[in-house]
Amino acid sequence: MLKKNNKLITIFILAFFMFSIVGSAGAAQFSDVDPATDATPAIYKLAALGILEGYPDGTFAPDNTITRAEFAKIAVVTAGLERVASGMTGVPTQFNDVAADHWASGWINVAAAQDFVQGDGDGIFRPQDQITQAEVVTVLLRILGYNDNLSGSWPANYIAKAASLGVLDDITFIANKAATRGEVAIIGSEVLEQNIVVYEASNNLFREARKTIDGDTRSYILLEDKFESEIETDQLVTDVSLDEGIAFEFNSSGDFIELTETAIIANAPSWNQVKERFVDYVTNDDGDIVYISVQDYGTVKASLDDIELNTRENELSINNRNYRLADEVVLLPEDEETTLEAIFVDRELRGNLLPTGTSLQDFIDLLDYDVIPAIDSLEFVLNDDGRIALIKAWAWESDEAGIVDNVNLNRERIQYKNSDVRTTNLADEDYAILINGLQAELEDIQENDVVYVTDLYDVTLLVVMSAQVPGELESIRVSDGDVTEVRVNGTWFDVAINGFILSADAGSDFYNAKADVDQIDGKYEILGEDVVLLLNPEQKVVGIISDVDAVARNFGIIDGTAAVLDGNQVVKGIKIFRADGSVAAYPLKDDSILDEPDFELLKKNWFVKYSINSDGELELEFKEGKIYPIFIDERFEELELPKGIEFEDIEDRFVHGDEWPLDELNLKADTDLNVITVNNGDAFDLDGKHKTINGSFDISNTTIFNLHRDDDGDIQIVDVEDFLDSINDDSVNAFLVVDGNNIEYIVLYDEEIVGTTGNIAMVVDTGRDIGGNYAYLLLPHGTVKYYVDSGNIEKDEIITFTLKSGEIFINESKEAEKWDINGPYEIKSISGNIIEVITAFNADGNVESTRNIVVNSDTIYYDNENSPIILEKDDIARGDIIKVYREVGETAVAVVELVDEEVLPIR
């Protein structure tokens, strides 16, 4: 089992904070709310409280205006009177233009009864008119207790009071301008945190209302009064627990506060990006968090060599810039106030690794002298004063990394390729998964991903990296015989702590090379060879795959945009469908392409050459300012161009101008030799130059992309055999990418070529519906329903099939000749790739004869004793009853099936 990583080192320097007091249920994140705008925290706060709602399509439309009827509802909900409004629906209103059956009659009735709204004074309310900023301010201040006795005339009196309270600080206020939803959110959020007031007619003044809360008689704010909620500001999240839902610890208090299931997290993509950040949060009347907003005061990342202690007390120089520590700190775990420079607390050992009160100088000295584990980097979290409030250090060692072989979703198990690391079993674990820093699912983990298993957050946390860097291993740097840096494609990459894991056979097996120069330049001679680098979360090399064709890995298909983590910020990145069939998302080094007017239209199906730099950023190669090398999509006539964009505006963005590159090629196929013959075919070399090719080409090692997407919207890698079978001397819409006399890529669009031939599956169930005959097949990724185009299929049989256009094709005559089926047998022993089975018993019940069954890494194991599931080899054992399926002419069996049957009779 993969060893859990316990090298997370964290230092906390916690400043004391003053907090003011102020929930309800939350809502989903909105697709059109920019995290960088001032309105974002306010929008999510009011959405969490149920005051504002989004639209069914997942948008919020912050720039849309609001009608007076709509704002009547907002006002009543803000005042906590929505239950009253439900009882007033259908009741005649005091306004001539609001009928009793108007959708907002109940809201308007309550708002008018509470004197929040008054209409125009002539019995007119104008429910469909847009509400102005001045009207918004007036209504919300009336909810606080202010009224027309404010000094001055309307609306200047209400505007002046709002300005004095700071309610208008974050908007450009224009009294008669129609208020947008975003502006209403900002004003409403500010009003929620203002004190309730009462008017004293005798003194003609407004004073703060007071009441007894938890034995304390004091003033109170609107949120506290109407929602029985509290708000805390500038709190540092020092720990996260996933034991029962999600809970946060603040300021190392030792107490955790849970998030409701519908809680909204603003300015961060998920819970893991909240840890060790400053936040504001709102709790409901149960004390659970309904809304939390991350406050980004900045972080500084550095290596130990970039840090110096200054002569000035409590000050560091980081990357040649001075930073002061927080004035007041809290000792962990005793919570004693101190003026010590820093506190070291190991998050696993809770302070037992070093004494509480170790100074920052002592800590740095210990790192220098290797007294505590080496680290990859230090990160300093700043508070709102720009002072260091938290220091954390991470160590991602190569000997704690697993290189993924396969993922069994049914058994929730990950198997690795490392010689010293085998499996992670999650079936009986509470677990969470982060891929490239963002929350993900088990099914998102792919072959050759790098996995670290930790027990942070009170659950099993898998930290997964999918970043790969293909290219030539040009040179290395060595210190004391160990490789410390490698250069690929002109970029230097640091090597991870304890070296890297090496595969010398194109990724089939890995073992620890200990970063020994003799391993690289001696035994395996991989300098100057094509390799693929595997990176850890700090973008350091944790694995190297040699004996690969890096050319095939430098190209891929853009598969759209995705939210990705770039440092601590979530940015829009690009997904690449890679030549090995996997998909990875990367931030862009130059994200200006995302602003191109045609990008949203043409973002999918670009065939590109790319590289990954040492910061884990995607670099797309360009030629003469145009996208490199070729653009592909289904058909231009099928595209809907955005308003204002014409084809002529787009075509010169591509290398080949107005030439449509998805050409009709005349090909002939030799299926026995994996050869195609091309007659005057259009092709492009690796530099994007057009050329015409003729002749015969072996495509055994060619990567074939099919841009016709499956039912899940995924691009397909096509099997060479399928491609050759589909040609049949006919033309095909495709283009070729060549390297010298080799065809490296074929990119095609064909609805009839999907998946691969020779798929093996167990038939779980069959039937017929309106779509025709269907079968449920048990495949490695789960049970899938397919319609049957040809062939008879029966429940519980093992079949091989071809999948085209989402339908199953079976050649029954070949299927009958394909399998040599034997058993059932009882397993006598298992040793390596040999399963010894009993073929006969004598009259006394003793073993009379046995037979050796050969298995290999491609053998599939099914359990058909009860409900069919896929097993691992380790799941079968002595005494199990099995049937075996061997393809005629092969040595190893293709399928081992556990069955609930009687063994062969006694001789």
Domains belonging to the chain, first-starting first, are: 38-224 (no CATH), 234-280+290-294 (no CATH), 299-395 (no CATH), 402-463 (no CATH), 468-546 (no CATH), 555-620 (no CATH), 666-748 (no CATH), 759-814 (2.40.50), 822-899 (2.40.50)
Q: pLDDT tens-digit profile of 544-595?
A: 988 776 555 678 888 777 777 666 566 777 888 887 777 778 887 766 656 5
The terminus-to-terminus CA distance of the chain in angstroms comes to 44
Q: What is the pLDDT of residue 101?
A: 93
Residue 637: is it exposed, middle or buried by C-beta count within 10 angstroms (0-12/13-18/19+)?
A: exposed
The CA-based angle 655-658-661, given to 5 degrees, is 70
Closest CA to 430 of 459, 461, 409, 462: 459
The residue that leads in pLDDT, 729 or 63, is: 63
List the structure tokens of 246: 């999600």
Closest CA to 448 of 376, 369, 513, 543: 543
Average confidence (pLDDT) over 642-651: 46
Residue 689: its H or E element = none
The whole-model pTM stands at: 0.60
DSSP 401: -
* CA atoms of 875 and 881, how far apart (whole Å): 13
Q: What is the pLDDT of residue 325?
A: 77
**Poorest-confidence range of 149-163, 232-246, 399-413, 623-637?**
623-637
What does the H/E/C string look like for 468-535? EEEEEEEEEEEECCEEEEEEECCEEEEECCCCCEEECCCCCCEEECCCEHHHHHHHCCCCCCEEEEEE
Q: What is the pLDDT of residue 590?
A: 65
Q: pLDDT tens-digit profile of 765-776?
A: 888 877 778 888
pLDDT of 426 higher than 80 = yes
Q: Are strands 511-512 and 501-503 parallel, antiparallel or unpaired?
A: antiparallel
* CA atoms of 604 and 617, how far apart (whole Å): 19
Closest CA to 407 of 369, 378, 448, 436: 448
The mean predicted confidence, pLDDT, of the chain is 76
The residue that leads in pLDDT, 551 or 485, is: 485
List the structure tokens of 424: 């992670």
pLDDT of 386 higher than 50 = yes
* CA atoms of 808 and 790, how far apart (whole Å): 7
3-state secondary structure of 306: helix
Contact predicate 250/230, CB 8 Å: no
In which band, very low, low, confident or very high, does the pLDDT at 269 lie, cut at 50, 70 and 90?
Answer: low
* CA atoms of 280 and 23, how far apart (whole Å): 13
The CA-based angle 188-193-197, given to 5 degrees, is 100
Phi, psi at residue 750, to the nearest 5°? -150, 120
* CA atoms of 807 and 751, how far apart (whole Å): 11
pLDDT of 661 higher than 50 = no
Average confidence (pLDDT) over 11-31: 40
Number of other residues whose CB lies within 10 A of the CB of residue 751: 11
**Poorest-confidence range of 66-75, 298-307, 376-385, 505-514?**
505-514
Q: Which residues contact 309 (CB under 8 A, 6 or more apart)?
A: 315, 316, 317, 360, 361, 364
* CA atoms of 893 and 820, how far apart (whole Å): 9
In which band, very low, low, confident or very high, does the pLDDT at 140 lie, cut at 50, 70 and 90?
Answer: very high
pLDDT of 146 higher than 90 = yes
Say which residue the tokens 């998920």 belong to: 270
pLDDT of 371 higher than 50 = no
List the structure tokens of 700: 């055994």
* CA atoms of 367 and 344, how far apart (whole Å): 12
Q: Which residues contact 681 (CB under 8 A, 6 or more apart)?
A: 663, 665, 666, 667, 692, 693, 694, 736
Share of the chain above pLDDT 90, in %: 18
List the structure tokens of 321: 């810039």
Q: What is the pLDDT of residue 343?
A: 32
In which band, very low, low, confident or very high, does the pLDDT at 5 lie, cut at 50, 70 and 90?
Answer: very low
Share of the chain above pLDDT 70, in %: 75
**Poorest-confidence range of 47-56, 174-183, 523-532?**
523-532
3-state secondary structure of 588: strand
Closest CA to 862 of 792, 765, 778: 778
Phi, psi at residue 670, to the nearest 5°? -115, 100
Closest CA to 620 of 667, 587, 584: 587
Closest CA to 445 of 421, 398, 470, 413: 413
* CA atoms of 504 and 526, how far apart (whole Å): 9
Residue type, 490: G
Average confidence (pLDDT) over 322-332: 59
3-state secondary structure of 247: strand
* CA atoms of 578 and 589, how far apart (whole Å): 19
Considering 348-357, 446-455, 702-711, 742-751, the range whose residues carry the highest mean pLDDT is 446-455
